[in-house]
């Protein structure tokens, strides 16, 4: 907890205190810590307003009513310290009851529990449907939080990113470092532990030189920017695509490195070089391997595509 408090305080000192959490993270523990850290660090209302917190409702199978969203939201508000949540999102699609969740988001907004609403892991069709439903109540769908990185380009290729831009829905891109595989610290003989090891094995089993070529391009780009860490190249690429990347930070070193990304940006030529190299890489996670329901069984609406 002490290291996480350092991360919080440093981000706040830089006026970059945006934190994305969820009721599922630590089964509420993440929200409780953020609420505690904000209370300890912020002596005034003005200080509190510098902290932006996004949280998420877990669309679990037994939650089928709009009231479930409001109830969960109230619990999150309490854990976070009592203030309205800046951004409240549906964490992932369910196989049913999705439209009820959208009504729940709108109810939470109308009750003053949240300042804005969003979704996460929504595909093009679900995004458009949710946007239209909320618009009926005069509420803008603010965000869609999706996986996107140099190794996971599907939202670019299938039109999801374009649809978000068309509807003025901001994209929060999670896993911009591709589970660490864009940092240069892993290779065939040095894989991460846990579930990521299987992903690494698949990536290297399918390696035809394109992944190493991408890393070489990233190193070249980093070298032109005072030998920046490769992670900053990956994050800046996500920024160049018009998204708001949300890399994780477990300690002060990581948060300093992440936030220093904003000290420089890619040139158009560098972005194109990275695009060309990343488009050739195969073997990383594909959408069909992700666990989210593809379709709402009651409405037939396609919920997830990437």
User: 167 to each of 103, 132, 141, 262, how far by Cα in Å?
Assistant: 19, 10, 9, 26
Task: Count the neighbouring beta carbons within 10 Å of the beta carbon of residue 109.
Answer: 21
Closest CA to 11 of 248, 256, 251, 279: 256
Vertex 211: Cα angle to 205 and 214 (nearest 5): 175
109 catalytic? Reply is no
SS3 286: coil
Separation CA 73–CA 36 (nearest Å) = 18
DSSP class of 263: G
Strand-pair category, 117-120 with 141-147 = parallel
Exactly one of 25, 88, 109, 174 is catalytic; name it.
Answer: 25
Residue with tokens 């009926």: 136
Separation CA 31–CA 23 (nearest Å) = 7
User: Is 230 in contact with 222 (CB distance < 8 Å)?
Assistant: yes
Catalytic residues: 25
């Amino acid at each position: 907890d002490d290291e996480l408090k350092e991360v919080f305080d440093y981000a706040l000192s830089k006026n970059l205190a945006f934190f994305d959490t969820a009721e599922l993270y630590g089964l509420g523990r993440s929200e409780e810590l953020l609420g505690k850290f904000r209370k300890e660090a912020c002596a005034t209302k003005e200080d509190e307003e510098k902290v932006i917190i996004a949280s998420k409702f877990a669309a679990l199978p037994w939650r089928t009513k709009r009231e479930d969203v409001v109830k969960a939201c109230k619990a999150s508000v309490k854990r976070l310290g009592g203030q309205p949540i800046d951004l409240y999102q549906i964490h992932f699609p369910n196989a049913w009851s999705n439209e009820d969740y959208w009504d729940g988001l709108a109810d939470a907004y109308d009750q003053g529990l949240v300042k804005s609403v969003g979704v996460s892991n929504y595909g093009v069709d679900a995004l458009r449907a949710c946007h239209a439903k909320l618009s009926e109540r005069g509420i803008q769908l603010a965000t869609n939080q999706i996986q996107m990185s140099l190794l996971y380009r599907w939202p670019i290729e299938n039109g999801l990113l374009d649809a978000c831009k068309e509807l003025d829905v901001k994209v929060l891109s999670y896993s911009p470092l591709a589970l660490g595989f864009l940092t240069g610290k892993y290779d065939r003989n040095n894989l991460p532990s846990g579930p990521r090891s299987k992903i690494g094995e698949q990536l290297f089993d399918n390696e035809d030189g394109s992944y190493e070529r991408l890393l070489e391009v990233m190193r070249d780009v980093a070298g032109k920017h005072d030998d920046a860490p490769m992670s900053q190249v990956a994050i800046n690429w996500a920024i160049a695509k018009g998204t708001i990347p949300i890399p994780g930070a477990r300690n002060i070193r990581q948060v300093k490195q992440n936030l220093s990304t904003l000290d420089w940006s890619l040139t158009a030529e560098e972005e194109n070089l990275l695009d060309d190299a990343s488009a050739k890489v195969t073997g990383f996670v594909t959408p069909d391997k992700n666990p989210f329901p593809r379709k709402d069984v009651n409405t037939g609406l396609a919920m997830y595509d990437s």
